[in-house]
Structure formats: structure tokens, C-alpha cells
Amino acid sequence: MTRGTVLLLLALVASGAAPPGATVVGADSVSNGVASAAAAAAAQVQAQAQAQEQQPPPPQQQQQKPAAEMPVVEWGSDVGVEAQHGGEGGAAPPIPPVNHEALNEHEAMLQLLREQAQAARQQTDITVAPLGGDGDPLLSSGCAGALGVSGICQANAGMQYRSMGRTGLKISALGFGAWATFGRGTLASADAVYGMMRYCVRRGVNFFDNAELWHGGEAERLMGGALARLVNEDGVPREALVVATKIFQTTTRRDARGPNDIGLSRKRIVEGLRASLRRLRLDYVDVVFAHRPDPTTPIEETVRAMNHVIDRGWAYYWGTSEWSPDQLLKAHAIAKARGLIGPAVEQPQYSLLWRDRVEREYAPAVEEHGMGLTAWSPLASGILTGKYGADGGAAPPPGSRMAARPELMERTGKWRRALRTTEALRPIAAKLNCSLAQFAIAWTLHNPAVSSTLLGATSIAQLEENFGALALLPRFTDEVVQQLDETLCGLGHVCRMN
């Protein structure tokens, strides 16, 4: 019986009134026992009410301070925690019980990831067979239909995954790029591009690289069509792929470009990335690169613009391509001072013929800020395959880049020196029982600063050969590296990684 009910009964008894429809009983007919019981009940209710008023309310009923008085607390800060819990001496919210079942499941998942990483590190060989043939390990392992867990078939794929610099993003050690290939020659059609990308995914590749400028935007359109087919026809989750593009120059014809169609202004970056997303048929890219430095735009404007597209969910990370070391360090300094995100990755040209910038100039940014490197042109536009001969006089193979651009064959100086260097590397590659292309690609991955090396293959056969480079990494002993350096030094190249 509540306090209000007792008081109402007492009032009714005292006045002789009763609720409508009730039997009216006069006050003088109420027995002394009933009156005493009512009085006792009233006294009990009043005592309980007084006791409740003296006790503090439970934590969930405590009155919060006005918003103006609440301290501003930054994420990860210990300052103001006491104030958030009701001020000095205030009661802290109750701690929920530990969910041991969830913790056990989490620990089991971590252990599985550790075992998978250990197995990947211990794997030293890779089996490569023609796609669809009797010896295709993908078909024999049951990966002919669906592409396996998370859309990537791991059986016999032999792929390595590396962190992109100091981030938590894992990308395949070998990526596939669209530069100088998509929209041309054997990769001019949508079906051809889809076939190459599908084969890459089946081999464990998850990193795909593009740029708004390449082939007037056609490279992005072709990749976008292939991505859509991988998701819709093959069941590859978008989340299983890491897609990158680069912003600097619009797809507009050179003679029709306006003053804002080139550079790294906020307008250029925002509008360029949105246009790239439409061509790629994506809601976001995983990484957006500033394709080249822009001396006409303050670096702070570029840093803020890249953070803006990340905040909007159009990209998860941003990076640079062919920026100078000073520009990289300045971008990081600005980002740190303004509480913004700095570039996580740099995409430089890197090969046995072009190594000085990566191994010497970029060292401070890589070591101090933990930037990853995604190397492009590891075969120096095909020179390091050895298919052009020792003196450049041989006719280039049909379908090669030099066949498409014969003027390159007429160059002297560095061109002929590069061909002589390539021939000098043949004996070293022969000792490792590999092709020159495999040797050159594996050499770039031997550098621990390289997160991924981008392949520019134009056929399945080239991809098969290139993937064989992963098996060579354990064979890059100190003796092999020393012989390589001595060979390069003798030809006047940069000859040791410092």
C-alpha cells in the first residue's frame, strides 16, 4: 500500500466520504481497530519516505551537470574523467561483468591469425601452372568456383602480405597496376582487363593501383568494370580488395584544360577524387595518392584537402608519389602541428636501375614517420626482362612497349648502358635458377621498406613468371647481394643500400 493510498483512506474515513458506487459508512461506525490500522500504515509509509529522502539517488538517476559545466575531454586523455563521473567524490558508473566467452573467442581468432602469419613467413616456394590447365593448383584445390575465404584463394597462392608502412592496412607484396597497359594493346578490352584482375585475385593479389590521368580516364573505367564483375559474378567482397588511385591532372585533353584542371588544390583533389570514384564504380578508394608535388599550392592546403576526403569516407588513407624528401617531411610536420593525418605511403619508381632516391633520400621519412613504399616500374619499362638484347639493336618483341614506341630504341647513353647492365645481371639470375624479370622483382621486395611492388604485366604468362619472384626471397643471401653490388658498382650504378 502506497503512502498516497493510505492518506486517501484516512481522509475518506475522517470525512465520511467514499468513492462513487461504494457503500457509505459513517465515521462513527468505523471501529477503533480499523482506525488504528490505518494510522499505523500511514506512519510506516511516512517513515519509509523519510528514509528514502536521506539516501542519494542511484547513479543512473543522478542529475548531470549542465552542458556548459561539463569539461571537454579529448580521446585518450585522463583529464576530466572524475568530472565525467559526477565530480569529486561522485559515484562511478557500474562496471559490466567480464564476458569470458567473447574474450576466449577473441584470443582464438588472434591465435589463428598468428599461425597464418607464421605459415606465410615459412613458405619458401610457389607453384605456378597455366590457368585452367591440368596442373592448375587453383583448380585442383577447389578454387575454380568461389575464390575462397574473403574472396582470395590461399591454397598454393604463395602470396605475402605486408603492412603499408606503419598503418594496420595489409597489402599484397605484389600488386597490379594499370599504368601504360590498361586501354592499350592486349588490355584494350574490358574482358581482357577482367581476366587479368581475376587471375591476380586468385593468386592472392589484393592491391590494385590506378590514376585519374591514365589513358584519359579509360584505365579507371576498365578497372571499375572489372571490379564490379569480381564482386557481382565471382562473389569477391569489396572489403577484400585494396584499391588505390592518384589525383593531380584531369582527364581533359591537354589543349582544353583550364587553370584548375591540374595541381593539388582543395578543389582539384575533391572534384578529381569524386570523378575517379564514378569511373571506378566505387563509394570509396582505400588509398588516394597525390600523384606529383604541386609547387603552386601550399602543402598545408593539400594536407587539409586529403584529410577532408578521408573524413567524408571517400578514402581511408592518403599518400604521395614522387615527392621530394623535403616535401614529405614538411607534410608530416604540418599534419602533426594541426592534428591531421599525414601521408602514410609514398609511391616511387624503384628498380635495379633506379634505386638512389629510395635507398638514400627517402630514408628519413620512412624511418621517422613510418611511411610505406609501393614501388612502380620494377622492370624499368621491360628493360630488366632482357628481351631487348645487349645493345638495343634487336627488334623489340611484338606487343612490347618498345614496339609501340620505337623512338625509345633509338636513344643512346642511358638506354644502352641500361641494356648492358641487364646483360651483366644474367649470370647472377642463372645461379638462382630464375629469369631476369623474377630476379629484378624479387630484388625490390628484398628491401624491407617496400610494402608492395606493382606489376604491369600484359598477359597471364607474364603474371605467372612475375609471381615466381616470391619464391626467390629466401635465396637473396649476403653472398648474392654482394655479387650484385659489385656488378652494379663496376658499371657505375648505385651499388649498396645505405
Domain boundaries, the chain: 153-490
Rounded to 10 deg, the angle between the 325-338 and 299-311 helix axes is 60
pTM (2 d.p.): 0.68
Q: How far is CA 10 from CA 1, 35, 43, 328, 403, in A?
A: 13, 8, 12, 84, 109
Q: Is residue 297 pLDDT above 60, yes or no?
A: yes
Instruction: Tell me the C-alpha distance between 252 and 284, whole Å.
Output: 22
Mean of the pLDDT values across residues 266-283? 98
Average pLDDT over the chain, rounded to an integer: 75
Confidence of residue 470 (pLDDT cuts 50, 70, 90): very high
pLDDT in tens, 238-260: 999 999 999 998 876 777 778 89
Report CA 354 to chain centroid distance, whole Å.
27
DSSP structure string for 74-94: -TT--TTHHHHTTSTTPPPPP
pLDDT at 446: 94
Instruction: Tell me the C-alpha distance between 376 and 179, whole Å.
Output: 9
Confidence of residue 493 (pLDDT cuts 50, 70, 90): confident
Mean of the pLDDT values across residues 170-191? 89
Which of 273, 271, 275 is CA-nearest to residue 315? Answer: 273
- Which regions of 384-489 does DSSP assign to beta strands (E)? 450-455
Instruction: Tell me the C-alpha distance between 465 and 148, whole Å.
Output: 23
Q: Rg of the chain over CA atoms, in angstroms?
A: 35
Instruction: Tell me the C-alpha distance between 486 and 298, whole Å.
Output: 43
Mean of the pLDDT values across residues 173-185? 88
Mean of the pLDDT values across residues 314-333? 97
Confidence of residue 404 (pLDDT cuts 50, 70, 90): low
Which of 360, 341, 361, 348 is CA-nearest to residue 450? Answer: 348
Task: Return the minimum-mean-pLDDT range out of 54-68, 142-156, 162-176, 200-214.
Answer: 142-156
Q: Is residue 59 pLDDT above 60, yes or no?
A: no
Confidence of residue 217 (pLDDT cuts 50, 70, 90): confident
CATH architecture assigned to 153-490: Alpha-Beta Barrel (3.20)
pLDDT at 158: 83
Share of the chain above pLDDT 90, in %: 49
Q: Is residue 204 pLDDT above 60, yes or no?
A: yes
Q: Which residues contact 253 (CB under 8 A, 6 or more apart)?
A: 216
Instruction: Tell me the C-alpha distance between 224 and 228, whole Å.
Output: 6
Instruction: Tell me the C-alpha distance between 455 and 59, whole Å.
Output: 60
Mean of the pLDDT values across residues 459-475? 93
Q: Is 216 left (phi over 0), alpha (psi -120 to 50) or beta?
A: left
Instruction: Tell me the C-alpha distance between 178 and 193, whole Å.
Output: 9
pLDDT in tens, 68-104: 333 333 333 333 333 333 333 444 444 445 455 655 6
pLDDT at 450: 96
Q: Which residues contact 99 (CB under 8 A, 6 or more apart)?
A: none
Single-letter amino acid, residue 209: D
pLDDT at 181: 85
Q: How far is CA 28 from CA 16, 31, 272, in A?
A: 9, 8, 94
| Better-predicted residue by pLDDT, 129 or 345 | 345
